Structure 1
Amino acid sequence: MNISPWLTVIVTLGIVAAYEGRLAMAQRRTPQRLARSVHASLREDWFAAISAQPGSEILAVQTLRNSLMSATMAASTAVLGLMGALSLTAPTLHANLGDAVWPHFTPRLAMELVLLCLLFASLVSSVMAVRYYNHAGFIGGMPVGSTQRLQWAATGTAYVRKAGLLYSWGLRQLILLVPVVAFVLHPLAGVAGALVVVVALIQFDRYRIEND
């Protein structure tokens, strides 16, 4: 059975896009059932609680530094993957887009461009998460009850929320690389990889209490 590579590209990306679209709709309707929304509220509540407890400045800074290091590792992974992908795809990109009068797009080239875009997006998200965690660390280190801490409390809460969301987006984009890399190895493997990733993401995105 001969299946068009372009059809496998559409199916592979379509499966992931359909799930992400459905998730975005669920985010608006029932955010309390999604881990992303619940965990964002958890970080906000944590910062509010830590800001109301005198003597918790060191704990706040240590917790935020741990999160910052996690985001830094994700950024490092993304930049190393981006450098490696550019090295591997440079000959193909030059052959199809460099000297040609009209760019010649192939299914493999299209997925290689998607691969580079995902790695770049993951890098940017992770770096921005590092930035927000860094600033939140300065706020969390201010003495509880001080005028400066009260002045920056709302900003600290917002930064902790944004940093967590950006970090999760960076990790998510790395996970979405699986079907793209699988497609580069074999077109049909991309479809299988997309299905596997969606099944895994369903479990990660759903929020449920273990006792329920």
Structure 2
Amino acid sequence: MISSTWLAAIATLGIIAAYEGWLAVAQRLAPARLARTAHASLREDWFAAISAQPSSEILAVQTLRNSLMSATMTASTAVLGLMGALSLTAPTLGQASTVTAAWPHVTPRLAMELVLLCLLFASLVASVMAVRYYNHAGFIGGMPVGAPQRQRWAAAGTAYVRKAGVLYSWGLRQLLLVVPVVAYLLYPLAGVAAASLLVIALIQFDRYRIENE
């Protein structure tokens, strides 16, 4: 029979997985209604507009540098969290392992700690890749608008800005998903409540709407 702690873990992760699955379907059916897609198009339009305006190179580099610093801060937060989670998981793995067992006994707490590690690692990778793309886009945005080299790399700059923004949003999202997992580790039922509250908040963040509508 499944214990109450396993049920709480399944419910915590199930609520998040169900919402992310619904969001993936909604993004295919009505991408214009979601903030992620709308903001990705916004960044593309921004780069196209800045590329058509002479003497805008400094503004472009400053804007991209600000975005790069935000992604760097997210990556730094993920690294610190990952180091803390590793120190938290190591004793649990040691207690769950035995001399004769090939694999440690998986408890609900150990499973959630591993999920925590995966979320933090995913946030770190996405944020680092966002830094990489913002860095490349900064070089392109710093080229003189009328230079032939700028024209040759314009399409790549637009793609890099879009990818960087999407990766940054993924990295930030993984950090938010850490909250229910940490709440579960403190008290199993708190994870279910935190997951429900997080989904309610994400629904508001993920919806794209114009105030005048």
Per-residue CA shift, 1:156-212, capped at 9, x if unaligned? Answer: 000000000000000000000111000001110010010010000000000010112
Question: What TM-score, normalized to structure 2?
Answer: 0.96
Residue identity in the other structure for 2:87? S
Residue identity in the other structure for 2:192? V
How do residues 97-112 of structure 1 correspond to structure 2 at under 5 angstroms? 97=97, 99=99, 101=101, 102-112=103-113
State how far apart, in whole Å, the 1-side matches of 2:151 and 2:207 are: 35
2:71 is matched with 71
1:51 is matched with 51
Residue identity in the other structure for 2:79? V
2:21 is matched with 21
Unaligned ranges ≥5, structure 2: none
Report the CA distance shift for 1:67/1:31 in structure 2 as closer, same or farther (over 3 A): same
State how far apart, in whole Å, the 1-side matches of 2:122 and 2:10 are: 21
Residue identity in the other structure for 1:85? A
Runs of 4+ aligned structure 1 residues displaced above 6 Å come to none
Residue identity in the other structure for 1:180? V
Residue identity in the other structure for 2:73? M
Whether contact under 8 Å (2:72, 2:128) holds in the other structure is yes
1:31 is matched with 31
Deviation of the 1:98 alpha carbon: 7.0
Unaligned ranges ≥5, structure 1: none
- Partner SS for 2:104: coil
State how far apart, in whole Å, the 1-side matches of 2:98 and 2:120 are: 22
Same amino acid, percent of matched pairs = 80
State how far apart, in whole Å, the 2-side matches of 1:97 and 1:126 are: 33
State how far apart, in whole Å, the 2-side matches of 1:207 and 1:131 are: 27
Deviation of the 1:95 alpha carbon: 2.3
Report the CA distance shift for 1:98/1:34 in structure 2 as closer, same or farther (over 3 A): farther
1:141 is matched with 142
State how far apart, in whole Å, the 2-side matches of 1:175 and 1:89 are: 20
Equivalenced residue count is: 211
Question: What TM-score, normalized to structure 1?
Answer: 0.97
Whether contact under 8 Å (2:74, 2:171) holds in the other structure is yes
State how far apart, in whole Å, the 2-side matches of 1:80 and 1:95 are: 24
